[in-house]
Amino acid sequence: MTVTTTSRAVVEISGDPLTVDAVVAVARHGAQVHLTDRALAGMAASRAVVEDLADDARPHYGVSTGFGALARRHIPTEKRARLQLGLVRSHAAGSGPEVEREVVRALQLLRLATLATGRTGARPVVAETYAAMLNAQITPVVHEYGSLGCSGDLAPLAHVALAALGEGPVRVPAGPGAGELVDAAEALAAAGIAPLELREKEGLALINGTDGMLGMLCLALDDLHRLLTTADVAAASSVEALLGSDAPFAADLVGMRPHPGQAASAANLRTLLAGSPVVASHRTFDADGRPECTRVQDAYSLRCAPQVHGAARDTAEHAATVAGRELASAIDNPVVTVDGRVESNGNFHGAPVAYVLDFLAVAVADVASMSERRTDRFLDVARNEGLPAFLADDPGVDSGLMIAQYTAAGIVSELKRLAAPASVDSIPSSAMQEDHVSMGWAAARKLRRSLDGLGRVLAVELMTAARALDLRLADLSEAGGGMARPGSDNSPAVAAAAGTGAVHALLRTAVAGPGPDRFLAPEIDAVTRLVADGEVVAAASAAVGPLH
């Protein structure tokens, strides 16, 4: 698999493992896909094995038998096309709201990648049809509910397969009905794609995989890379504006506990706070001229930010390892082995993916919880180091950011509920044939809501820290700028650090500074967009260099 950039990104589907970046490129950014000749040749070879078995008088699961609890019934040749078609139609039984377009495209891509391994026994034309649908931006409607995460994401995958057969609703990006629901047959015809006519085993090959939960894991990892760096930016902004100390982030101290995520987060905080006159304003110097911070021990939400953010980073790294293994998998049941056997197996069970999806939701909730505590600290005159109550213009007349903190607290409470694991649940199905399921799809869906919540909580912290910094800089300017090194003639200039200052300047392009009470919801939304679009991290990085 390679991703190349010409006039448009192209992801090569060769039968080799995809990367998380490749999944994101296709699902989120609309990259095209290209099936290689090697992948098509491998599919043709395994298809020959399936066709030989179709002529065998002995029953072979998925080729000449029913499915699930009906697996022991032999299906005569004349009914096998109906069997495959009926399988897709009956399993396309989702309900509830549509899931996001990027989730459906990830689902389509990952099933295509599995087909291209040559281990499913599907004909090359099946993969070619999926590739053509992706490139034509035809997005089948997939619903919120329907997957138990064992035998894979059956209902979501069945809705995609149904569209490839020319049935069911889809959405298209251009032409008549753009953005509206369109019949799949109409959309395929407009794109010049012939609807599939399934043969032995192909219906099963299209619906038996962990592609939905895996696709959402890949998208979540992309989101987390941005959000965890944003959390470091927010924490640095809060440390600075709350007159916190950067001393606990020293490399030698952090190195005494060698977790890589903690080291990366602490390095970000050091970089973002480097040269801050605000931090320097509460430093003194010992007899030898070494700086000493007057803040001996900050609250945990400031001092321990690298430990919590770093643990979340390490959790994401573990999840990325699992995602990499799953992306290297060929999941179907039965599968065509390299030596030409067709064997039933249990690789469709979603437990490995479900566990890390749940684990990430725990980490997300904790990072958000710490962020909200820093926000709350700014608003309390007993803890905010001399700032006005609630950062209000005229406390008592104005409420300031009081209710913005309520919003963050409400989201954090929701994130704690979403951190309850889905993967510990199991409801037997298919007449007890599928008597243990992973609930991986549900774990992925709640993680997406958690990530959205984390972005909003960080936005509230950034907005609060920016207002606090304005007030702090004004106070320090009036006080003369803080402590100077012994023997120095001049006090340090009163300004933010380069990194935090760049983020402050960015926020001021979207929301106003301190003043009388005003409508806050649009401001929270504006900063949330800056977080989601990666502009907060980009602004900091432009000022201080790349962040971890």
User: CA-based diameter of the chain, in Å?
Assistant: 97
Per DSSP, the three-state class of 335 is strand
> What φ, ψ does residue 455 adopt, rounded to 5°?
-60, -40
Three-class HEC string of 67-90: CHHHCCCECCHHHHHHHHHHHHHH
CA distance 35 to 105: 16
Report H helices in 181-297: 184-190, 202-207, 211-241, 251-254, 260-273, 277-280
Q: Which residues is 143 bridged to in the sheet? A: 98
Residue 231: which of 279, 277, 280, 272 has the closest Cα? Answer: 272
Give CA–CA dist 525/459, Å, rounded. Answer: 8
**Catalytic member of 61, 130, 300, 355:** 61
Dihedrals φ, ψ of 482, to 5°?
A: 100, -165
**Exposure on the CB side of residue 105, measured as CA atoms within 13 A:** 25
CB atoms within 10 A of CB 228: 26
CA pair distance 337, 344, nearest whole angstrom: 10
- In the three-class reduction of DSSP (H, G, I as helix; E, B as strand; rest coil), residue 501 is classed as helix
Residue 458 tokens read as: 């960080």
What is the number of other CB atoms lying within 10 angstroms of the CB of residue 443? 28
Mind giving me the DSSP string for 235-254?
A: HHHHHHHTT--SGGG-HHHH
Q: Report the alpha-carbon distance of residue 201 to residue 52 in Å, rounded.
A: 12
Q: Which residues face 521 on adjacent strands?
A: none
Closest CA to 269 of 253, 257, 283, 291: 253
Scanning 92-201, the segments in alpha helix (DSSP H) are 101-115, 124-135, 154-164, 184-190
Q: How far is CA 293 from CA 451, 486, 491, in A?
A: 36, 14, 16
Q: For residue 32, which of 175, 157, 141, 136 has the smallest C-alpha distance?
A: 136
* R_g of the chain computed on alpha carbons: 28
Percentages helix, strand, coil for the chain (3-state, rounded to 5) are: 55, 10, 35
**61 an active-site residue?**
yes
CA distances (Å), origin 511, targets 467, 517, 521: 10, 13, 11
Report residue 351 CA to chain centroid gap: 18
Q: Catalytic amino acids?
A: 61
